[in-house]
């Protein structure tokens, strides 16, 4: 499948409606996943706080895990060594385990399993991995899904603004810097990883208001500022919008504001994700880079065996 076709499946992915029964009956939730398979847990962690939720991206699981823990292990391939290790540790602690994958070892571990369609790059399958989390915890309903579908479809038809950003980034060989804010901090991180994996450029993400306590000083005085390209998500919060505006002014930094479309959080979330998909995809195209190539990641896995 061409990479652009992969990206265009996102609107179908948001219709994926499998979920976990009684997900809200546990005392806490731990979600393990790496890279493109881990970002959905991180996004979920920002959206749901009725219970302690911990998104992990390493070999080990926290000590507090018990039979009162819902542990969700996500790996698109089903074969990620860190995730498998974390699941095994959670199993030893008696957690209720649910796995999400398109096949691989995870499917065969014998836990409650959500099977998702295969054939995509993990980073193109965020909808398949995020929607079960949103559905299980009542964070997305059919109406939001329908409106999200329409917004993503619009972006598939016209993403010329994404091309404008990509061209500016490519022309100056600029390092994309993405500043988000809650509940879209992990979406800024998702943009960064899309720049890394699709366009193969180094990229940096942070979020307001935290960055006002550190990056702000660098923005005002750093060398190489002209080598950076600042993309900033418009916040729902008036206070954060003030921070963005004042920060841009007093540090003399040109923030390109990305305005998410949609009424609900789910719509804005996916609109922002898809917007970043296209900026990174176009940047790959301009650079003459194959966005599908992840040979270095594969080579590492082979040499680690």
Measured from the Cβ of residue 259, the count of other Cβ atoms closer than 10 Å reads: 10
The burial of 174, by beta-carbon neighbours within 10 Å (0-12 exposed, 13-18 middle, 19 or more buried), is given as middle
Active site residue 301: yes
Residues 199/287, Cβ–Cβ less than 8 Å:
yes
**Residue in 113, 174, 225, 301 annotated catalytic:** 301
Q: Which of 2, 22, 158, 223 binds its own copies (CB under 8 A)?
A: 223
Choice between 195 and 278, CB closer to its own copies: 195
Q: Which of 243, 271, 274, 282 binds its own copies (CB under 8 A)?
A: 243
By CB under 8 A, which span of 17-25, 43-51, 87-95, 258-266 interacts with its own copies? Answer: 43-51
Contacts of 41 (CB under 8 A, 6+ apart): 31, 32, 33, 55, 56, 72, 74, 133
Distance in Å, CB of 174 to its own copies, minimum? 8
By CB under 8 A, which span of 46-54, 106-114, 127-135, 154-162 interacts with its own copies? Answer: 46-54
The CA distance from 80 to 44, in Å, is 20
The CA distance from 217 to 305, in Å, is 43
Q: State both tokens at 128.
A: 């398949």
35 binds its own copies (CB under 8 A): yes
Q: Which of 1, 4, 164, 220 binds its own copies (CB under 8 A)?
A: 220
Q: State both tokens at 36.
A: 């493109």
Beta-ladder partners of 283: none
294 binds its own copies (CB under 8 A): yes
By CB under 8 A, which span of 28-36, 97-105, 147-155, 257-265 interacts with its own copies? Answer: 28-36
Distance in Å, CB of 33 to its own copies, minimum? 10
**Residue in 82, 89, 107, 197 annotated catalytic:** 197
57 binds its own copies (CB under 8 A): yes
**Each residue of 199-212: b (16+ CB within 10 Å) or e?**
bbbebebbbbeebb
Active site residue 197: yes
Distance in Å, CB of 215 to its own copies, minimum? 6
The residue behind tokens 């901090």 is 185
3-state class (DSSP) for residue 107: helix
Residue 21 is given by DSSP the state T
Residues designated as active site? 197, 213, 301
**Could you list the residues that contact its own copies (CB under 8 A)?**
28, 34-36, 38, 49-52, 54, 57-60, 62-64, 82, 173, 175, 177, 182, 192-193, 195-197, 200-204, 209-210, 212-225, 227-228, 237, 239, 242-243, 246-247, 250-251, 289, 293-294, 296-297, 299-300, 303-304
């Amino acid at each position: 499948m061409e990479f652009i076709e992969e990206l265009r499946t996102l609107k179908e992915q948001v219709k994926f409606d499998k979920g976990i029964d009684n997900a809200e009956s546990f005392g806490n939730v731990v979600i393990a996943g790496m890279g493109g398979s881990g970002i959905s847990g991180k996004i979920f962690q920002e959206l749901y706080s009725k219970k302690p939720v911990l998104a992990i991206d390493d070999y080990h699981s926290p000590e507090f895990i018990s039979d009162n823990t819902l542990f969700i292990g996500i790996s698109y391939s089903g074969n990620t060594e860190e995730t498998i290790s974390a699941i095994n540790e959670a199993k030893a602690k008696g957690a209720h385990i649910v796995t999400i994958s398109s096949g691989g070892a995870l499917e065969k571990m014998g836990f409650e399993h959500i099977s998702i369609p295969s054939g995509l790059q993990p980073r193109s399958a965020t909808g398949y991995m995020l929607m079960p989390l949103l559905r299980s915890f009542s964070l997305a309903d059919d109406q939001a899904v329908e409106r999200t579908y329409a917004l993503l479809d619009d972006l598939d038809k016209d993403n010329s603004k994404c091309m404008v950003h990509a061209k500016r980034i490519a022309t100056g060989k600029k390092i994309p810097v993405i500043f988000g804010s809650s509940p879209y901090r992990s979406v800024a991180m998702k943009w960064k990883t899309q720049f890394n994996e699709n366009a193969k450029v180094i990229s940096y993400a942070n979020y307001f208001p935290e960055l006002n306590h550190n990056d702000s000083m660098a923005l005002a005085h750093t060398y190489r500022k002209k080598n950076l390209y600042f993309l900033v998500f418009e916040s729902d919060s008036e206070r954060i919008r003030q921070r963005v505006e004042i920060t841009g002014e007093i540090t003399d930094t040109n923030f390109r504001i990305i305005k998410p479309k949609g009424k609900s959080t789910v719509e804005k979330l996916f609109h922002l994700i898809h917007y970043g998909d296209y900026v990174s995809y176009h940047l790959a195209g301009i650079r003459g880079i194959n966005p599908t190539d992840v040979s270095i990641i594969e080579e590492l896995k082979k040499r680690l065996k």
